Chain A
């Protein structure tokens, strides 16, 4: 696990450097979900047969996704070096027609869960194994399309669907979500709560959700910190869509080490 923690520091450094170079990218959102992305793709890189689908509904955290895909050699290094240039494969939000490994083109919030529900239903109809994981932000839960889909997933017993909530309390800026566990449970979902930056917790979740069958869809409330890893960025609204200066970049890299 120590080496994994080291790896995550390297990925965070890469994110900072690319954001600095491209003058683009949502650093705090990317840092918030980095352990989640890393854990999913690590697990998937070890599986002999890849049957799982992953939809990152919060498309603005694209830089975190790209850096993770790069780490697992799923996209070439040149792509990230040229992020957001006119002819780049990688933009501020991911385009699945440019990144073949992705399941979805995201950016507009509230699209990922209905879409992932369709992926999961499709798997059942085809009799395929594997799970569908949809990663959304808690702020994204403001979108009504999610709540529509929570009803459908429960009603149709879509147990191969897991909704991972990057629960960094972004929603609190506008709208209090109250007790999310109670809300999901009242919609008939199985709820698991973890520390979204704990690789142990995440590994346990990904293993158990597949090994302990349930007739219910699963919501993972992953408690996270927006901007995790750099104190000045953590929970700072100013940094939501800001890129570092040369001096800030050097300071942040020092902090990571």
Chain B
């Protein structure tokens, strides 16, 4: 994949759509059909997508209600019985409202489970801060043993689920309305060196790869891509990132990945991030407007890199 011209440039590739979310219900419905250990708990969302399997497997596809603490606790009990729970709701209600259930019932008790959220940082842009969750990844990084995925494509989500759903670990899958054009799924969920370069190293986590590639196609910078965030592909970061100038493209709270990355790169490297600011984003509007406001634009990414390259 290491090529200067891995993707055509000059086209606006970023797109929004329900494709990854739609894929989720398809993947899980397929798994439910072939693996009788799997039980899906829906927090009264995604019910329409699961209507077929709810009819076929009423005991294993359950719209449990709007009660996130109980939903996670119930999932843990199912897991202790040897079953494999999938839990699905909007990110803040899963991660923030039921955090202690994730921490104790799954993390501390070392039980496996699958937590699939929608909404990401501010996909529900017009609905306001109650439905935003830019903190999910940094919060879940505080629970030892949690696997974290931020898939950028439907195939990456499929690969993540297929490889992890039955591995007895708690795993979080962050579904976003933003997706990447190029699928970089691989069997070990490793990172990918998308573009080689020497002046600066840009690390992209999940969606936002298209913008980054378009912004930096002409510059002598390397671009690394990751859809598995924890445990992250440390070797790829260690083998690369020698430029001493690092830009993190984080579609969640800015700085979320800083401490992990900084432990893997040469000392005295300079790290800059483009991500959600640590404040309540009280604007409404479209997701596109949110992304532009935050700095997920070709122009702002290019400027950040040019600035980084120019400083000593």
Q: Is A6 an interface residue (CB 8 A)?
A: no
Residues A122 and B109 in contact, CB atoms below 8 Å apart: no
Residues B65 and A125 in contact, CB atoms below 8 Å apart: no
Residues of chain B within 8 A of A121, CB atoms compared: 74, 77-78
Partner of A115, one of B39, B59, B82, B105: B105
- When A and B form their complex, what is the total count of cross-chain residue pairs whose Cβ atoms lie within 8 Å? 100
Residues of chain A within 8 A of B158, CB atoms compared: none
Nearest CB of chain B from residue A70's CB, rounded to whole Å = 23
Interface residues on B, range: 20 to 34
Partner of A149, one of B70, B82, B85: B70
Interface flags for A94-132 (1: CB within 8 Å of B; 0: not) read: 011100000111011011011111111111111000000
Secondary structure call for the A interface: helix
Residues of chain B within 8 A of A124, CB atoms compared: 59
Residues B69 and A118 in contact, CB atoms below 8 Å apart: no
Given A105-B109, A145-B73, A149-B73, verify A126-B100 contact (CB < 8 Å).
no
Q: Is A148 an interface residue (CB 8 A)?
A: yes
Residues B104 and A118 in contact, CB atoms below 8 Å apart: no
Residues B74 and A108 in contact, CB atoms below 8 Å apart: no
Residues A122 and B104 in contact, CB atoms below 8 Å apart: no
Name the residue on A nearest B100 (C-beta). Answer: A108
Q: In whole angstroms, how far apart are the Cα atoms of A124 and B78 in the complex? A: 10
Residues B83 and A125 in contact, CB atoms below 8 Å apart: yes
Q: In whole angstroms, how far apart are the Cα atoms of A124 and B59 in the complex? A: 9
Q: Is A4 an interface residue (CB 8 A)?
A: no
Residues A116 and B81 in contact, CB atoms below 8 Å apart: no
Name the residue on A nearest B76 (C-beta). Answer: A115
Q: In whole angstroms, how far apart are the Cα atoms of A152 and B59 in the complex? A: 13
Given A105-B108, A125-B60, A151-B65, verify A114-B73 contact (CB < 8 Å).
yes
Residues B104 and A108 in contact, CB atoms below 8 Å apart: yes
Q: Is B80 an interface residue (CB 8 A)?
A: yes
Q: Is B110 an interface residue (CB 8 A)?
A: yes
Residues of chain B within 8 A of A120, CB atoms compared: 77
Residues of chain A within 8 A of B101, CB atoms compared: 111, 114, 145
Nearest CB of chain B from residue A161's CB, rounded to whole Å = 10
Residues B39 and A125 in contact, CB atoms below 8 Å apart: yes
Q: Is B6 an interface residue (CB 8 A)?
A: no
Residues B81 and A119 in contact, CB atoms below 8 Å apart: yes
Instruction: Give the A-binding residues of B (Cβ under 8 A).
Output: 39, 59-60, 62, 64-65, 67, 69-83, 85, 100-101, 104-105, 108-110
Residues A117 and B77 in contact, CB atoms below 8 Å apart: yes
Contacts A/B (CB < 8 Å), 30 sampled = A95-B108, A105-B104, A105-B108, A107-B104, A110-B69, A111-B101, A111-B104, A114-B70, A114-B76, A115-B74, A117-B73, A118-B74, A118-B75, A118-B78, A118-B81, A118-B85, A119-B77, A119-B78, A119-B81, A120-B77, A121-B77, A122-B77, A122-B83, A125-B59, A125-B60, A125-B83, A126-B83, A149-B73, A152-B64, A155-B65
Partner of A118, one of B67, B73, B110: B73
Q: In whole angstroms, how far apart are the Cα atoms of A218 and B82 in the complex? A: 24
Partner of A145, one of B65, B70, B76: B70
Residues A122 and B73 in contact, CB atoms below 8 Å apart: no
Known: A122-B82, A152-B65. 18 other contacts (CB 8 A): A105-B104, A111-B105, A114-B105, A115-B105, A118-B74, A118-B77, A118-B79, A119-B77, A121-B78, A122-B39, A122-B78, A122-B81, A125-B59, A125-B81, A126-B82, A145-B67, A145-B70, A151-B67
Q: In whole angstroms, how far apart are the Cα atoms of A144 and B82 in the complex? A: 27
Q: In whole angstroms, how far apart are the Cα atoms of A111 and B75 in the complex? A: 12
Name the residue on B nearest A144 (C-beta). Answer: B69
Partner of B80, one of A103, A113, A151: A103
